[in-house]
């Protein structure tokens, strides 16, 4: 906690007190504490209210901290000064909608303009939906008209068309909403997520047939994809605030998925969504993820955990992952296993298994893999995943030094996928590490390399197999190729150093081992250090 500015300093030297407040704000921001940074900026504003950029920074910190009162104050100040940036406009629209001031919200929506932060492009993304929901709040005729226009402008946009149906349904236009729902196919992810809300809303409006038809279309379009948001419980949209919240949450989620996206935009929209409706599951998911992407996993976990009552399984799994990020892996595994009780979706079981492995909880990972395998069918289409699960289970046994338990699992995986280069390499290299049936292991690795000669991991395995069987020159050639493919792979670098030594290239060997030492973890680091001191021996040869 950064100490408060001394009262005496503030009284004696206002300029120094202002500087101190600025330093406090910077330190709090670097420490990931936006609430404390905001307090410091507010202190600074009381001493230097006209400092350039101060109100904009206060707005950003208020959004980060989830302080709507402070965000509204900063946004209003920016607006009054003529700075109509998109995040200020969004905060003011949300605040007006919360108060039921539909006329005020409409006024802010009507002032979109270009700005350097790309606000105009963002406005085009959110304004049709927000405008439609504001019009629904004002009880305007045809409140969906902006969405209908957006849906038919340029290429078809089914998400806008389905959102228009949601607006119509909330406005009491059931027949029009049903017609729109039945004539629109949710072809992309965003439209499928909107359609899911429309299904729940149609059910709530006792339009069961239309809801059933649309639900079937979503299932057909989504196929086998177990999207986390599609796994959330269905929630009806029954009023304009809830409608705007759901759309802003989807915008936040969509922006977060863009390559190299800015973490601030998803957080801004997720905050706005939760300010409108903090009971919206999509909004809660989007905000937790946005906080995690801003290196605030603890805040994301706290936000998910603060809700009274049970979390949906998919959000409980997310809570487990965020808890693991904060270092409490034992608690994370417990939370994750609670998320997969009963008939859990396959994707949640996979996430549970991954978390258990990362937490070094082999027993929990084994339970997850066993349940996954039991959930698979017997058809050929399940063979790749079943083989992968068998390899994962075998790896757990190998980590426990249980070769006798691992070997049958690996053989079952090979029987399912006899030509799979990844499995061939895993089985062959596992035997090679333990010097078990080296000739057979060499044949398996050669088959894997023939299928994928550009794969650095497989190339390393083959080079090491040749090293162990005395073909040193060929080993060096292959290990150099593998090291070029993955120059920061400590295992490959150590193998190459050993091969150089055996080939009589002692200077190169020591140089390579030094590189391996920089990359190595504890066990390897000790072995490499011994080689650097005394050269290669049978005891210090890599496994």
Of the candidates 304, 297, 292, 289, the residue with the CA atom closest to the CA atom of residue 254: 289
CB 403 within 8 A of CB 434: yes
Q: Which of 58-62, 153-157, 338-342, 479-483 has the lowest mean pLDDT?
A: 153-157
Let me know whether 47 and 140 are in one domain: no
Let me know whether 21 and 115 are in one domain: no
Within a 13 Å sphere around the CA of 402, how many CA atoms are in the beta-carbon half? Answer: 12
pLDDT band with cut points at 50, 70 and 90 for residue 113: very low
Give the gyration radius of the chain's Cα atoms: 29
pLDDT of residue 226: 79
Let me know whether 290 and 150 are in one domain: yes
Domain boundary among 83, 115, 141: 83
> In terms of DSSP H, where are the helices of 138-239?
145-152, 158-170, 174-183, 189-204, 208-222
Let me know whether 15 and 115 are in one domain: no
User: Would you say residue 380 has pLDDT above 80?
Assistant: no
Looking at the structure of the chain, the number of domains it has is: 3
Q: Which residue range is the domain that position 26 belongs to?
A: 1-83
Domain boundary among 270, 295, 320: 295
**CA–CA dist 164, 181 (Å, integer):** 9
Within a 13 Å sphere around the CA of 507, how many CA atoms are in the beta-carbon half? Answer: 0
pLDDT of residue 118: 42
> In terms of DSSP H, where are the helices of 257-296?
264-276, 281-293
* Domain annotation covers residue 249: yes
pLDDT of residue 17: 79
For the chain, the 3-state helix, strand and coil shares in percent, each to the nearest 5, are 75, 0, 25
CB 58 within 8 A of CB 45: yes
Of the candidates 173, 309, 189, the residue with the CA atom closest to the CA atom of residue 251: 189
Residue whose pair of structure tokens reads 């426990």 in the numeric block:
400
pLDDT of residue 465: 93
Cβ burial of 423 (10 Å; 0-12, 13-18, 19+) is buried
Let me know whether 516 and 494 are in one domain: yes
> In terms of DSSP H, where are the helices of 68-140?
68-80, 86-98, 102-109, 119-137
Let me know whether 226 and 175 are in one domain: yes
**CA–CA dist 435, 465 (Å, integer):** 10
Q: Give the residue-averaged pLDDT of 167-174.
A: 95
**179-208, pLDDT tens digit by residue?**
999 999 999 999 999 999 999 999 999 999
User: Would you say residue 277 has pLDDT above 60?
Assistant: yes
Domain boundary among 295, 312, 337: 295
Tell whether the torsion through CA atoms of 138, 255, 282 and 174 is positive or negative: positive
pLDDT band with cut points at 50, 70 and 90 for residue 371: confident
**CA–CA dist 215, 217 (Å, integer):** 5
Let me know whether 46 and 189 are in one domain: no
Let me know whether 55 and 117 are in one domain: no
Which helix (H) or strand (E) is 17 found in, with range? helix 14-30
């Amino acid at each position: 906690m950064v100490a408060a500015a001394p009262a005496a300093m503030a009284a004696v030297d206002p300029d120094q007190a202002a500087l101190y407040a600025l330093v406090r704000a910077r330190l709090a921001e670097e420490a990931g504490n936006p609430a404390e940074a905001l307090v410091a900026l507010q202190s600074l504003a009381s001493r230097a209210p006209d400092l350039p950029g101060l109100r904009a920074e206060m707005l950003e910190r208020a959004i980060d901290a989830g302080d709507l009162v402070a965000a509204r104050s900063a946004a209003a100040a920016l607006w009054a000064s003529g700075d109509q940036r998109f995040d200020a406009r969004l905060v003011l629209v949300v605040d007006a909608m919360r108060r039921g001031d539909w006329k005020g919200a409409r006024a802010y929506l009507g002032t979109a303009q270009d700005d350097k932060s790309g606000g105009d492009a963002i406005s085009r993304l959110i304004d049709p939906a927000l405008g439609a929901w504001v019009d629904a709040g004002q009880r305007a005729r045809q409140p969906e008209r902006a969405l209908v226009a957006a849906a038919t402008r340029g290429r078809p946009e089914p998400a806008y068309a389905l959102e228009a149906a949601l607006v119509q349904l909330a406005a009491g236009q059931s027949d029009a909403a049903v017609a729109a729902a039945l004539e629109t196919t949710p072809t992309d992810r965003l439209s499928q997520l909107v359609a899911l809300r429309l299904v729940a809303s149609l059910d709530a409006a006792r339009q069961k047939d239309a809801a059933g038809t649309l639900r079937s279309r979503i299932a057909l379009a989504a196929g086998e994809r177990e999207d986390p948001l599609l796994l959330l419980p269905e929630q009806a949209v029954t009023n304009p605030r809830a409608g705007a919240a759901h759309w802003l949450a989807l915008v936040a989620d969509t922006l977060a998925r863009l390559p190299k996206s800015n973490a601030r935009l998803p957080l801004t929209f997720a905050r706005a969504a939760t300010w409108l409706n903090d009971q919206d599951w999509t909004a809660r998911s989007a905000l937790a993820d946005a906080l995690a992407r801003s290196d605030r996993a603890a805040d994301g976990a706290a936000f998910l955990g603060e809700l009274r009552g049970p979390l949906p399984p998919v959000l409980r799994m997310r809570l487990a992952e965020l808890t693991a990020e904060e270092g409490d892996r034992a608690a994370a595994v417990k939370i994750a296993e609670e998320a997969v009780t009963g008939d859990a979706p396959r994707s949640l079981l996979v996430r549970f298994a991954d978390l258990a492995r990362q937490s070094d909880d082999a027993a929990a990972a084994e339970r997850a893999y066993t349940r996954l395998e039991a959930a698979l069918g017997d058809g050929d289409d399940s063979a790749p995943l079943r083989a992968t699960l068998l390899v994962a289970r075998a790896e757990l046994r190998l980590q426990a030094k249980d070769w006798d338990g691992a070997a049958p699992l690996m053989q079952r995986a090979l029987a399912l996928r006899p030509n799979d280069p990844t499995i061939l390499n895993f089985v062959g290299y596992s035997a090679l590490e333990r010097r078990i049936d080296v000739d057979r292991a060499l044949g398996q690795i050669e088959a894997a390399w023939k299928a994928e000669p550009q794969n650095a991991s497989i190339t390393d395995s083959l080079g090491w197999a040749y090293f162990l069987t005395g073909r040193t020159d060929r080993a060096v050639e292959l290990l150099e190729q593998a090291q070029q493919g993955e120059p920061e792979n400590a295992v490959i670098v150590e193998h190459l150093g050993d091969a150089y030594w055996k080939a009589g290239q002692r200077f190169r060997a020591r140089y390579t081992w030094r590189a391996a030492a920089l990359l190595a973890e504890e066990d390897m680091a000790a072995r490499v250090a011994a080689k650097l001191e005394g050269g290669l021996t049978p005891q210090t040869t890599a496994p």
